[in-house]
Amino acid sequence: MSTTVPVITIDGPSGTGKGTLGFRIAQRLGWHFLDSGALYRLVALRAGDEGVALDDELRVASIAQHLPVRFEVSGGEFRTLLEGRDEADRLRTEEAGAAASVVAALPAVRAALLSRQHNFRQLPGLVADGRDMGTVVFPDAVLKLFLTASAEVRAGRRHKQLRGKGIDVRLAPLLEDIRRRDQRDQQRAIAPLLPAPDAAILDTTELGISEVENHVIGLLRECGIV
Ligand code: DC
């Protein structure tokens, strides 16, 4: 890992728009983008495919260590490839998110993914989104953001997104799922979801993605990044 490559970290719970924001900022700056949540989701999916129990720490950590994953940008979109296959559909389900949150609580899995995440730090810079980017993975980031929003608003966004894809779901179970996942991510013993002491906290409850992006561009100017 080179300490001269600048990193911007974006942490926060699911549904705050950090993935969309991170990708947009990375595109604007011409920097690399790391969707660390996708790594945890892929590990959980792969464990399911291989019939490995999600709490079998050693075997799940071995999957994390050898995960044949590649990220690429094509057609202006960010793609996650597992063995060259685009896994977007399987990756973005509620089940994959919940399973990811379970394997993410295993210390050996987090340790296996740590050096893999450091490898994404390449010139000219990296925007990294997740839960512990600013606290554990890139504590020397030049700018740390922590996005929040009420659980109700986050569930509402997810609901709208799924309905837009023609998936018929009810709001109440989505909200319950978000609350359960927040609780597991915040209360785990290792690398819990929490803002770094030097993070700028942005509440996106009342803000659209473009408003959040404009605010962040202001912060980038203040830091001399643009
Ligand atoms: O950001 P996401 O919803 O794709 O993340 C899925 C799960 O993975 C999330 O519930 C917690 C876990 N995760 C984590 O523990 N650390 C990260 N840096 C990213 C995700």
Please tell me the distance from the alpha carbon of residue 116 to that of residue 188, in angstroms, as a whole number: 21
Examine residue 107 and state whether it is found in any structural domain, yes or no.
Answer: yes
Could you tell me if the CB of 100 is within 6 A of ligand 1?
yes
Strands across the sheet containing 32-35: 32-35, 126-130, 7-11, 143-148, 200-203
The answer to whether position 2 is within a domain reads: no
For residue 92, being part of any structural domain is answered with yes
- Among candidate residues 96, 101, 132, 102, the one with its CA nearest the CA of residue 117: 132
- Walk along the chain (226 residues) and give the pLDDT tens digit of each residue: 445 899 999 999 988 999 999 999 999 999 999 999 999 999 999 999 999 999 999 999 999 999 999 999 998 999 999 999 999 889 988 899 999 999 999 999 999 999 999 999 999 999 999 999 999 999 999 999 999 999 999 999 999 988 998 988 999 999 999 999 999 999 999 999 999 999 999 999 999 999 999 999 999 999 999 9
- pTM of the full structure: 0.95
The CATH number of the domain holding residue 15 is 3.40.50.300
Overall number of domains in the chain = 1
Is the C-beta atom of 87 inside 6 A of ligand 1? no
- Residue ranges of E strands in 97-173: 126-130, 143-148
Assess if residue 226 is contained within a domain.
Answer: no
Does residue 161 lie in a domain region?
yes
Which residue's CA is minimally distant from atom 13 of ligand 1? 37
The CB of 178 under 6 Å from ligand 1? The reply is no
Nearest CA to 138 among 226, 43, 28, 11? 11
> Does the Cβ of 97 fall within 6 Å of ligand 1?
yes
Instruction: Say how far apart CA 72 and CA 81 lie, in whole Å.
Output: 8
Looking at residue 3, what is its pLDDT? Answer: 56
Contact 143, 127 (CB under 8 A): no
**CA 154 to each of CA 115, 163, 193: distance values in angstroms, whole numbers, following the listed order:** 31, 14, 16
Is the distance from CB of 50 to CB of 174 less than 8 angstroms? Answer: no
Q: Is 51 exposed, middle or buried (0-12, 13-18, 19+ CB in 10 A)?
A: exposed
Residue 55: domain span: 7-220
pLDDT value at residue 4: 87
Strands, E assignment, the chain: 7-11, 32-35, 69-74, 77-82, 85-86, 126-130, 143-148, 200-203
139 preceded by cis ω (within 30°)?
no
Asked, for residue 225, whether it belongs to a domain, the answer is no
Distance 215 CA to ligand 1 centre (A): 24
User: Is residue 132 in some structural domain?
Assistant: yes
* Residue 143 included in any domain: yes
3-state secondary structure of 1: coil
State the Cα–Cα distance between residues 210 and 159, nearest whole angstrom. Answer: 20
User: What is the best residue among 40, 103, 188 to mutate for testing ligand 1's pocket, by most ligand atoms within 8 Å of CB?
Assistant: 40
